[in-house]
Structures are given as C-alpha cells and as structure tokens.
Amino acid sequence: MKLIVGLGNPGRRYAATRHNVGFRVAERFARTHGIALREERFGGIFGRGVVRGEADEALDVGLLLPQTFMNLSGDAIAAALEGLEIEDASRDLLVVLDDVDLPFGRLRLRPGGGAGGHRGLAHVLERVGRRDLPRLRFGVGRPAEGSDTVEYVLEPFSAEEERALPSLLERAARALRAVLLAGLPAAMNRYNREPEDETAEAPERNE
C-alpha cells in the first residue's frame, strides 16, 4: 500500500497556522477521494481507501495525520511503517509539509534529502533511519526580516492567503495523486513549476 502523511500540530489552537498546511493538504486529498480520517492509530488520525486511475488501476492508500506534535512526527510514521503493509518507504511513503524557503503556494516534490531546517521532517528522518523519503513541500513564504521563524509558522495565514488557499490545496492534492498514479519523476516535472506556467494536465496513469 501507499502511505501519505501530512505534518502538523494537533488541536484547534494550531489548525489554521502555516505549520499545519501539511494536514490541510492531506485532508483535501482525503475529501477528494472519499477517504474518511476517523481512526485513531499509530499515534495519529488515520484513514484508508482506494485511489483509482484512468486505466482502472486501483491503489490502496493510507492517510495519516500524526497527533504527536510536529517535532515528534517521526514516532507516528515509524509506528505506521511497522504496522502497515509498506514494502519500501522510499517508494511507498510520501510526507507533506510546510516550507518557509518557498514562496507562498509553490510546491516542491523531492525524492529525498535533508530536513532543510524543518524539525518535524528531521525527526521523521531520524526515526525512520533514512533520508530517501519522498516529500511534498508547500511554500508558506518567509517571515519579514528580523521576525522569528518559529513564531511565523505558528501564526495563521493572512486573510489574503486564506482566500487563495482552496485552489492551492487542490493543486497540491492533485500533485499527490500524480505521484501515486504517474510516478514521482513525472509529478515533479509537472508540479515543481509556477502554477501559472502549467500546461493542461494529462490524465495520470501508471507507466
């Protein structure tokens, strides 16, 4: 099976913050594909369902929102990898997180690498014990010069950003679908560009 993990912090206090955009992308994907996020498993909120492609392929997909708080996200992911039928985390796991080094709304798919200063991802890499974990970074923009980055990501999006978010979250959910059905290289080629530069999307399908 495939496992998508959105990173964030639990509770209403953090729900609308920039640091929780990983949760929001995963939740949008779940709604689009009719996957109920209701089970309490692996130290998080879990759901499982089927994602269907254009050629009648059907993928078994799990979604996990760790409830361990961001900096301990690796505990939930390690538990899920142990408890689910995940053959290869470098191929079957996809982590979704916020990124202050990307402009607001930009997406960056990568097959692996370091944490880039993101403490939640750093804990995931430490607990899983490998760096070749695919991830989707969602840009939240940089704070103003002299501002504290930790405080910035724990603040809500601006009103203008919130108005723009629905279409950007939908695009991120489509990027996840593309990874599942077309593969990571094809999805990177399509979604690691400026949204306005994107050409009409072809149906995702397994090659």
Residues annotated as catalytic (active site), given as ranges: 19
Closest by CA position to 50, among listed 2, 100, 116? 2
Closest by CA position to 100, among listed 138, 53, 52, 48? 138
